[in-house]
Chain A
Amino acid sequence: MVKQELAYKETLSCVQCGYCLPACPTYITFKKEKHSPRGRINLVKMAAEGKISYEDMEQGIELCLGCRACETACPSNVPYGTILESAVASLVTYNEERMKKRQKLIKYMLFEHIIPNKKILKIGEVGLSLYQKTGVQKVVRKSNILNVFPEKMKAFENILPEVERHKRQSFYESKQIKKFNVGFFTGCVMDTMFKKINTLSIKLLQMAHCDVSVVPKQGCCGALHNHSGEHDLTIQLAKHNIEIFEKYQFDYIVNSIGGCGAMLIEYDVLLKNDSKWAERAKAFAEKVVDISVLLNQVELPFEKSFSQLVTYQPSCHMTNVQKCVTPPVELIQKIPGISYVPLLEKDMCCGSAGIYNFINYEASMAILDKKMLHVKNTLHQEKAWIITSNPGCHLQMKLGIEREKMNDKVEVYHLVEVLADACDIHI
């Protein structure tokens, strides 16, 4: 009997040709077949057939970034995301008891309390802001107190963004002739750590013929939950968002977060077997679009020119799930003065991958080291900006620059920040 909870039928569509191998960051980094997409699909298949144990399967699954570059490389349309999610969800159920305590605590705090709860995120935001504004951050950084923390906490401490507190309206009218009515999806981590980028996004959309609504009570997209096998929670969050957004007559649901956008655009896949919700999810997903797509359709009113070398690290989920590849690059090339150089091996994940860098710190850093090698080979020690389109990648690239001691040469910006500045748009 095949184990029903695993996506067994999907594993059979893999012909084991191996075309995914060179696209997989964990295979390249860890050099073992079990850390490749083909290897993982086989592990899930074997576990479903009862030929290996769940512990065996977990060896391959646990280090998967979920970047889904393998889906883009696959010549046989294997739904790797579905296979991975089924494996992770099965492991969560199976491991409930034997999960490492610390990981369990982190996950519990993140998923059940912090991420879905905007109020707590708000407190966190205030805390983060105070922590930085009061200068405690400097004291902590200088006093080496952080040496007592695990290495990972110390690493992230150095790259925390400066949080700016500011109020936001719920509606922004288009500053050009109105063409679209859009709902803006803020995301939770993004709206806490990078609230400024969200607000700048909205202001840019005003320039792109959009009336922008920031729908109150919108929730977390569920991406991190989904990648961690919290299937039921993910569905709850998805239904909540669909319900909230469908009350409005939006032409688009816009976001500037590669990872969240990928989750939103797959609500239809998530709910395809739910007869009550399938249609509604499909209607929602069809409206989801990354901000770069809309901005790329218009002539932005550029005011400034940057004489600057720029490269771009795409978000894997934007590339492989949202299939949004050219708009960000075209936008970058439109900015006056900029000299754009494609990042070598740009489609390789940076190792951020949601909370992968917290949970699998060492593995994540090994992947990041490979990424930074490509960054160095692209930039040849010149001063440059790395542009990102997702907060996770953003922080990870900053971490990479910190680790490589390239701070004096290289800066990291979200695409929206650069576009807004070039248009002289500020908060």
Chain B
Amino acid sequence: MELQKVESEIRKVILDAERVMRDPADLVSYSYDASFGSYMPDIAVQALTTDEVVNIMKIANHYKVPVYPRGQSTSLSGGPLPVQGGIVLDCSQWISKLEVFPEDMLVVVSPGVTAKQINDAALKHGLIYPPDPSSMNIATIGGNLAENSGGPKGLKYGVTKDYVVGLEVVTPEGNVMRTGGKTIKNVTGYDVTNLIVGSEGTLAVITEATLRLYPKPQATVTLMALFDNLIDSGHSISNILSAGIIPAKLEIMDQASIQAVEEYQPTGLPIDVEAMILIELDGHPVAIEQEIEVVRKVCTKYNARKVEIANTEEQALALWKARKLVSPAIVRNKPTKISEDATVPRSKIPEMFTRLKEIRQKYDVELVIFGHAGDGNLHPNIIADANDLEEMKRVEKAVTEIFEAAIELGGTLSGEHGIGTLKAPFLEMELGEVGVDMMKRIKQAWDPNNILNPGKIFAEKGQKFSLTNG
């Protein structure tokens, strides 16, 4: 690779010297994300315009240098990792556009804007942008789109892809292309928008997005239910949903996470229950009243020890507080958190709980379940110590079996984090040989020189699942 040349070419198209970095202190700062592994890039560039991206892609194609689009690097699957060296294309500072069109109920944004900023801008017009990944305060919309991020509200409102009306992208060969448009209905040609969304930065660099907004619900209310048996909570969850109620959020905390929270910052939860579910209903106040009663009945039928309704905003916040404390609470004894997002159909939630219990015992791992139970996206988290190689090997086996269980139950490897580097070895298990081959052909057609985010989604020859490499 003719690095010197590549650098000087880039400097010709990006005149602000500060935005082209080759210093070790900068490069090492682009070597990681929130997943595992660390890889040094050769150059890091902060892009601020579509033209800059076009020029960089052209240079990269000429010199055959890989390019890795990056937002705030909060990915849990290795999306922005520069696994084969080359150029990291940092779009996190590209925040120039955030324009709400209230009459069209649309917003047009630059890739560096966060979901939180989009939602805040929408709220000024009585609208909301519903996708709410827990990193919505930090992660960029570019990253959200590339990974098709979800969040607790995915249950009712869907995930990022359900809000994308149109995109401006730069192709791997450096051409600008617009997909979709400004209308909700649009069937002209292939649905390239939805091909790009969730393609993990392997097909195009997203430079602008047109997203749809929703009217803000008139009211919200929070409920909590406690269960002596984890499986009962699973039955309650699937029965609430089949009773025709779609909560905005439906979250679960198992016994291990409740105990961890109570040890960390006591919130007054009983530590002898096996599960707590938290439900947020939103909509018209009258409708909510009725839904509360249905939820109460279902939970009681499945042996809930207690159902509590938050009457004030403060009470609701107090209930959600315990949920927020899970993450800091569970990492107090061991530092490494392996957060999985294997997802199963709603009807299989109780069965997945049973399988997770078995896996926890079989491999003697600290497996904690908390997360978005309502959409089958259970977030089993394993707490370990990355320095303990023997333990990490057991964790690898446990994670492998979690994936197998999810797929056997008709689910998927990843609900919202993406495949990236970590889960690539399992891709064929879910998609089959033909499925993987067709996807590879799409990649080949879009990116003939394999410039854009190589090493993601598709496993390298002989690549094995590992949590222990550097």
Contacts and interface: CB of A to CB of B under 8 A. Distances in A.
B33 A16 contact: yes
Given A12-B335, A75-B327, A33 B33 contact: no
Given A19-B138, A76-B327, A52 B387 contact: no
B238 interface: no
Interface in B299-328: 327-328
Interface in B8-34: 21, 23-26, 28-34
Contacts of A17: 34, 74, 135
B163 to A, nearest CB: 22
A39 B32 CA distance: 10
Nearest to B116: A22
B72 interface: yes
Given A21-B72, A22-B138, A75 B29 contact: no
B74 A33 contact: no
A16 B23 CA distance: 21
Nearest to B326: A75
**Mostly helix, strand, loop or mixed at chain A's interface?**
loop
Contact of B28 (A15, A16, A46): A46
A22 B137 contact: yes
Contacts of A60: 25, 29
A77 B93 contact: no
Nearest to B385: A12
B386 interface: yes
Contact of A18 (B23, B73, B93, B337): B73
Contacts of A21: 72, 138
Interface string A51-90: 1110011011000000000000011110000000000000
B29 A42 contact: yes
A7 interface: no
Interface in A5-37: 12-13, 15-19, 21-22, 31-34
B371 to A, nearest CB: 14
Contact of B23 (A13, A59, A76): A59
Interface in A206-248: none
B72 A18 contact: yes
Given A17-B135, A43-B25, 5 more contacts: A15-B337, A16-B32, A18-B135, A19-B137, A42-B28
18 contacts: A13-B335, A15-B34, A15-B335, A16-B33, A18-B73, A18-B74, A22-B137, A33-B26, A33-B30, A33-B73, A34-B29, A39-B29, A42-B28, A52-B28, A56-B23, A60-B25, A60-B29, A76-B327
Interface of A: 12-13, 15-19, 21-22, 31-34, 39, 42-43, 46, 51-53, 56-57, 59-60, 74-77
Interface of B: 21, 23-26, 28-34, 46, 72-74, 93, 135, 137-139, 327-328, 331-332, 335-337, 386-387
